[in-house]
Amino acid sequence: MNRSKPHHILAILCLLLALLPLAACDRNDGNDRADTGGAAGPAFLQVGEFAINRISPERTEVRDGAGRILVLIPREAPIPADCVPSQVIRVPVRRVAAYGYFDIAVLRALGVLEQTLVGVTAPAKRWHIPEIKQGMESGRITFLGDAASIDYERLKQSEPELVLTWDPSIIPLLDALHIPAVVTTTPTAMCLNTRMRFVQFLAPFFLKEKEAAAYFTRIETALGDIRARTAGLNPQPKVMWGDIYEKRVMVEPGNAWVGELVGLAQSDYQFKDVFGTACIEITLERFLYSGQDADIFFTYRTEEMGATSKEALAKLNPLIKDIAPLKRGKVYAPLPHYNQSADRLDEILTEISAILHPEAYPGYRLHYFVELPDTEPAAKERS
């Protein structure tokens, strides 16, 4: 990690650890629409600010995170007369370049990652997905450069038919290169329902609606189990999720999926009254106030970023050394593969619930987070 670019790294980290923010949504999105009865699913599906409108078997219109209308047509069909070429995407898409870990994990959930992914914005050493590590070793998947400084010549040489990006500013350049793109983020944090359904937004690009429906059902089943296990449990732990970086304090707002999950799992989210984008900035005073009586603290930091113990966190951020989770509560850090595991959303949701209410999950072993010890292992050995 390049420590000479702290603000850039912070911005990327927030996007990745939040698994990419999407639009706020109605919990009934997609459930009250007219259904065609076919394998393609509902004639109209809204996923937060994203939407799918199936005009006919030969034409599907989608609205991306930047509000752009794109037209999906069969690969052999002519470009519709009312569309400009940059607006048209032929499906199923066979070659994809993707910016975000979340989008790539969704490709994996749809079962198309190995066949379609040709370009990524993280080097091989940062990947924990076997298909990507193998693809980069074989040369099938290209490292396109850091997301903030893409090598567009390398991108063009990888010949993607579609770019999935969280950066709307690159759209004009991609249009000039005649490479279709979909903006997969919006300025508002991703709620739980939108995150669950985003797989259904990307499915039509690959004609994988059945796989998307199966994935969504799996997540719904996990949430049903969480509700059943945690119903009526007391006491309800007080939870905070975020961290302090230099002069900035970042947290997950109450409208983000993690805030909603904490409430669903019979727990009290300390930032439930904060609304906005994922990884939103708040005041130091508010963070410390919320930490006075919190029981559990989820930090954004991984072990490689210094989250090796409560003692280490206190040294990194002396201002938080007296918050309750560091003194007498529990602190959890994400494992390196966590932010690349959105295709295992059911397992992640279950794990967070097990952390909040271990009494409801006897014998559960952590797979995506680690509980930080009070002191550094070396310090324990010396004592």
What is the tens place of the pLDDT at every residue in 279-334?
Answer: 899 999 999 999 999 999 999 999 999 999 999 999 999 999 999 999 999 999 99
- Spell out the residues 6+ positions from residue 121 whose beta carbon is closer than 8 angstroms to its own: 98, 99, 143, 144, 145, 146, 147, 150
Rounded to whole angstroms, what are the CA distances from 16 to 11, 282, 327? 9, 19, 28
What is the tens place of the pLDDT at every residue in 50-87?
Answer: 999 999 999 999 999 999 999 999 999 999 999 988 89
Cα separation of 383 and 377, whole Å?
10
Provide the mean pLDDT of the chain. Answer: 89
What is the tens place of the pLDDT at every residue in 118-131?
Answer: 999 999 999 999 99
| Predicted confidence band of residue 378 (pLDDT cuts 50, 70, 90) | low
The structural domains of the chain, ordered by start, are 6-211 (3.40.50.1980), 226-382 (3.40.50.1980)
